[in-house]
Amino acid sequence: MKIRSLSLTDWRSYRSAEVSFGDGLTAVVGDNGQGKTNLIESIAWISGTGSFRGASDDALIRLGADAAVIRSTIEADDGREELVEVEIPRVGRNRILINRQRATRSSELLGVVQVTVFSPDDLELVKGGPSLRRGWIDAALAAHHPRNAALRGEVERVLKQRNALLRSVHGRLDADAEFTLDVWDSKLADAGERLRTARRAMLNEMTPILATAYDAVAQQVAMVECHYESSWSGPLANALLTSRELDIRRGITTVGPHRDEIHVTIAGAPARTHASQGEQRSLALALRLAADGVVRTVGVAEPVLLLDDVFSELDPNRAAALLDALPKGQRILTTAADLPSAARPDQVIRVHNSALTLESP
């Protein structure tokens, strides 16, 4: 799909702004603190995944304003035009309209706007804890099919309930509590097994795409591999029973999909601990490219690529290689520095003090 037009009212630093986007590469340029990231953050927000900067809704509304409004026309892959309107008020619930029809859940936006965001924070995917990599694979699963988002939600909900139960028994299990724990265990066993199976299948599909993407960005053949390490073996129901005593003592669930890890290795060495800064940066980009690639190959949609200030961290060679490795289609990048020489933008938007002007490329 493609973003055709975007209008912002009281969104972040923007009082009021309107812009339209072309088909190919758009460069959003300007000094730091002028509103470049705020601009693409609004596009990411209407894809239904919230703020990629992890901001609360309240932070999205311009200081002194009562509500932020995003209005955007989208061209779907089959050429249909769709209108997305979002109002985020300071008080009360968000209003989301798709083609003037009220949407009940923000996840309905997932079906209309798909984006892949690249940001400097992605480095944490490589260097940070396992929850980020689980989040990475789960987001790819959710983009693949809404059923997976529901499954992930179910696992989280069951875990919350089971942990609340574990804490409430204060280390001692009577007959009633044992019965009720059995019920949550069977729910967790069922949903947990299904989530692990889905993640493994997704990882198998993504690994070759990841390896190719890494080689392209790093400009070398490096053998990137992924390995899904599960926190249990055999049926999860048995593992939960085995760990029950420990779980009761600690008041948390110690096995399950929320304790699984995804190891990424470059030429056999763990990327998290052994790769160089440059390799880790390339890998972070490759992880995003792989998630994007798998959405494209299963044919759900062509996401819009949003690249937030990723070139400042890359040397000119890698920057050129990344630009080359990006799937064609609509790409919107922001940069405070000069554009990489390899970039040939079709459109340049200059941001100054949260005002947008088109420049000839």
Partner 1 sequence: MSYSTTVQELIDQLGRLPGIGPKSAQRVAFHLLKAPSEDALRLSRAIIDAKERVSFCSRCFNLSEGGDECAICLDSRRETRMVCVVEDSQDIVAIERTQEFRGRYHVLQGAFSPIDGVGVEQLRVKELMSRVADEDIEEIIVATNPNLEGEATAALLVKYLKPMGVRVSRIASGLPVGGDLEYADELTLGRALEGRTVLDTGNDSQP
CB 229 within 8 A of CB 261: yes
Q: Which residues bind partner 1 (CB under 8 A)?
A: 91, 145-147, 150, 154, 157-158, 160-162, 164-165, 168, 176-177, 179-180, 182-184, 186-187
**How does DSSP classify residue 49?**
I
> Looking at beta carbons only, is 167 or 274 nearer to partner 1?
167
CB 226 within 8 A of CB 206: yes
Closest residue by Cα to residue 125 from 353, 8, 285, 244: 285
- Smallest gap, in angstroms, from Cβ of residue 157 to partner 1? 5
Q: How far is CA 171 from CA 6, 167, 237, 238, in A?
A: 55, 8, 21, 20
> Looking at beta carbons only, is 145 or 344 nearer to partner 1?
145
- Smallest gap, in angstroms, from Cβ of residue 65 to partner 1? 19
> Looking at beta carbons only, is 158 or 291 nearer to partner 1?
158
> Looking at beta carbons only, is 63 or 91 nearer to partner 1?
91
For the chain, how big is the Rg over CA atoms in Å? 22
> Looking at beta carbons only, is 124 or 154 nearer to partner 1?
154
- Smallest gap, in angstroms, from Cβ of residue 250 to partner 1? 16
Q: What is d(CA 226, CA 244) in angstroms, rounded to the nearest whole number? A: 30
- Smallest gap, in angstroms, from Cβ of residue 262 to partner 1? 26
- Smallest gap, in angstroms, from Cβ of residue 147 to partner 1? 5
Helix (H, G, I), strand (E, B) or coil at 121: helix
Q: State the residue for tokens 């799937």.
A: 327
